[in-house]
Amino acid sequence: MFDCIIVGAGPAGSSTAYHLAQKGCSVLVLDKSSFPRYKSCTGALSPLVAQWFDFDFDFDPAIDRKLRRIRYTWKLGDEIASELQTQDPIWIVKRDWFDAFMVQQAIAQGITFQDNTTVTGVDFSNSHWTVRTPQETFQSHYLVAADGAEGPLAEWLGFSTPKLRQGAVFQIPTELPGEDAALNFEFGLLKNGCLWCFPQSQGYIMGGITFLGRNQPDYNSIFATYANSFGADSQLGQIYRHPLKLWDGNRALHTQQAVLVGEAGAIVDPLSAEGLRPGMYSGMKAAEAIHAALQGEADALASYTAAMHEWGNNIQWAQRIASVFFRVPGIGYRVGIKRPTMTTRMGQLLAGEIQYSDIANRVLKRLSTGFLPGRS
Ligand SMILES: Cc1cc2nc3c(=O)[nH]c(=O)nc-3n(C[C@H](O)[C@H](O)[C@H](O)COP(=O)(O)OP(=O)(O)OC[C@H]3O[C@@H](n4cnc5c(N)ncnc54)[C@H](O)[C@@H]3O)c2cc1C
């Protein structure tokens, strides 16, 4: 019998596993894929995450690029370029390599990892979980659903599913700019959403998501147009579609001896689609709660939900900004993105120096006064 079984070895699952093992718990992580495995994701990650692992290991081998330069465009024109003033640049990671690296860190702490193992059902009886796979069954005191946006665990555990938004990645091998490499963000080309393009070691990786509405974007032609603006041959590119479970308000993230972490719990920023950092944070918080529960602390899992609601109380402002910004992106670009302080604030948000709640009122006011004729 394991102390805990974690289903899913993405960043949220491996973060939970790492922290639980470090506290001396026995942990089994199961993943249906063969690792390293592909995950549709553009891989931008705040270096802030290193502190949650007490700088115990060096993330450098898992980082593909580090970037400070940011470029914004509106319908491929009206370009603004800027530099992040944060202490550390933003990391770009390749998810197959990064996720396998994080699993290795957890294995070094003593977890058991089994890939190629699809969880087909879970049952709770006699105060423990039974986890079924086609090959064998496993038992544990606690269960963690870390199976991402498309995994079945949340529904099996009785949680309702928030609306999924359709995202896509376009991976394109091409020559890259050297010194000039930047984090590129494009507004206006994708209705009700945005596009972004980051350099990786073998080409560009582009991402797109709609934050509002029900339209199904024609990603083939949108990415082709965006790729051409970088001088890349879109014929060489490959599209990977993947849904996103964006945060949609505070709700319980725990049930009887089980918790949801990462995207299984919709722990994804609804303004930026950032899921890596929040997922790893939720893993750390879930491990603290499960460890406390194993020590006999009553209501320990409720404290996990409470900790993530604190995160949610701040992130609700991101949701409010998104719901106004993506309705009137042209105004948003003019009165928000083009402001010289925009990149500074974005850097501070990524570095954890400020929170959405610190800037939301000003941003929302600016967006609403932007409607007024003659105001900018
Ligand atoms: C287009 C796009 C671009 C994105 N770009 C960024 C970005 O630049 N930066 C950022 O921070 N976030 C980004 N995200 C979000 C980010 O990719 C996710 O939020 C993040 O991967 C969630 O991590 P996770 O550990 O919760 O789940 P995942 O990484 O999805 O891992 C879940 C794991 O569970 C396994 N699994 C599922 N079902 C089962 C089962 N039944 N049995 C066993 N295993 C199972 C899967 O194989 C998988 O390995 C992007 C998302 C999309 C769609």
Cα distance between residue 274 and residue 119, in whole Å: 26
Q: What's the pLDDT tens digit per position in 130-167?
A: 999 999 999 999 999 999 999 999 999 999 988 899 89
**How many C-beta atoms surround the C-beta of residue 142 within 10 A?**
25
How many helices (H) and strands (E) would you count in the chain? 9, 18
- What class is the 165-242 domain? alpha beta
Task: Pick the closest to residue 138 from 158, 120, 157, 116 (CA basis).
Answer: 120
Q: What's the pLDDT tens digit per position in 38-96?
A: 999 999 999 999 999 988 999 999 999 999 999 999 999 999 988 888 888 999 999 99
Residue range(s) in the chain whose domain bears CATH number 3.30.70: 165-242
Choose the residue to mutate in 39, 97, 136 for probing ligand 1, maximizing ligand atoms within 8 Å of C-beta.
39
**Start-end of H helices in the chain:** 11-22, 95-108, 153-156, 219-228, 276-294, 300-325, 329-332, 341-350, 356-369
Choose the residue to mutate in 30, 31, 92, 133 for probing ligand 1, maximizing ligand atoms within 8 Å of C-beta.
31
**C-alpha of residue 299 to centroid of ligand 1, in Å:** 28
- How many angstroms separate the Cα of 140 from the Cα of each of 3, 104, 177, 334? 5, 22, 50, 54
The matching CATH number, chosen from 3.40.605.10, 3.50.50.60, 3.90.660.10, 3.40.50.1860, for 2-65+89-162+246-317 is: 3.50.50.60
Task: Pick the closest to residue 279 from 39, 49, 37, 7 (CA basis).
Answer: 49
pLDDT of residue 373: 53
Q: Which amino acid is at 184?
A: N
**C-alpha of residue 362 to centroid of ligand 1, in Å:** 32
More confident residue, 171 or 323: 171
- Cβ(196)–Cβ(207) under 8 Å? yes
- Which residue's CA is the closest to the ligand 1 atom numbered 3? 41
pLDDT of residue 376: 42
**C-alpha of residue 9 to centroid of ligand 1, in Å:** 9
Q: What's the pLDDT tens digit per position in 236-249?
A: 999 999 999 999 99
**C-alpha of residue 149 to centroid of ligand 1, in Å:** 7
- Which residue's CA is the closest to the ligand 1 atom numbered 15? 275
Residue range(s) in the chain whose domain bears CATH number 3.50.50.60: 2-65+89-162+246-317
pTM of the model: 0.95
